[in-house]
A and B are shown apart, each in its own frame.
Chain A
Amino acid sequence: VIDTVVIPILKILIVLNAVLVAVTFMVLLERKVIAWVQVRLGPMRVGPYGVLQPIADVVKLMTKEDITPVRSDKILFTAAPMIALIPALIVFAVIPFGPEVSMFGRDVTLYIADLNVAVLYVVSVASIGVYGIILAGWASNSKYPLLASLRASAQLISYEVAVTMTLVSMIVSAGTMSMVGIVNAQYDQGVWYLFAQPLAFFIFFIGGLAETNRAPFDLPEAEQELTGGFHTEYSGMRFALFFLAEYANMIVVSSVATTLFLGGWLRPFPNVEVLGFLDIVPGWIWFLLKTFVWLYIFLWVRATLPRYRYDQLMRLGWKVLIPLAIANVIVTAVLKVLL
Chain B
Amino acid sequence: MADAITFYTLAALILALAVMVVTVRNTLYSALLLAADFLFVALLYASMNNLLLAVIQVMVYAAGIVLVYVFVVILVNLKRLPEQHPDPSRYRMIGGVLAAAVLGELVLIGLSGALLPPPAAPAEPTGSVENIAMALFTNFLIPFEVASMLLLVAMVGAIVLAKKEL
Contact = CB atoms under 8 A, between A and B. Distances in A.
A294 interface: no
Interface in B71-105: 71, 74-75
A127 B59 contact: yes
B59 to A, nearest CB: 4
B55 A117 contact: yes
A121 B67 CA distance: 18
Contact of A125 (B56, B58, B67, B74): B58
Contacts, number: 54
Interface string B31-64: 0100100010000000000011001101100111
B128 interface: yes
A150 B67 CA distance: 12
A305 to B, nearest CB: 29
A120 B52 CA distance: 8
A128 B62 contact: yes
A134 B59 contact: no
A116 interface: yes
Contacts of A146: 74
5 contacts: A116-B128, A123-B59, A124-B56, A135-B32, A150-B75
A125 B32 CA distance: 16
A116 B64 CA distance: 22
Interface of B: 28, 32, 35, 39, 51-52, 55-56, 58-59, 62-64, 67, 70-71, 74-75, 128-129
Given A128-B58, A131-B35, A134-B74, A117 B52 contact: yes
A79 B97 CA distance: 39
A120 B35 contact: no
Contact of A121 (B35, B55, B128): B55
B74 A138 contact: yes
Given A115-B51, A120-B55, A120-B59, A130 B128 contact: no
B58 A117 contact: no
Q: Interface residues of A: mostly helix, strand, loop or mixed?
A: helix
A8 to B, nearest CB: 16
A130 B67 contact: yes
A125 B43 CA distance: 13
Interface in A110-148: 115-117, 120-121, 123-125, 127-128, 130-131, 134-135, 138, 146
Given A124-B59, A131-B70, A134-B74, A177 B129 contact: yes
A153 interface: yes
Contact of A116 (B63, B67, B74, B129): B129
Nearest to B35: A131
A130 B63 contact: yes
A269 to B, nearest CB: 31
Given A117-B52, A117-B129, A124 B67 contact: no
Nearest to B39: A128
Contacts of B64: 127
Contacts of A131: 32, 35, 63, 67, 70
B55 A124 contact: yes
Interface string A9-31: 00000000000000000000000
B51 A153 contact: no
A127 B58 CA distance: 9
A182 B52 CA distance: 17
Contacts of A116: 51, 128-129
A145 to B, nearest CB: 12
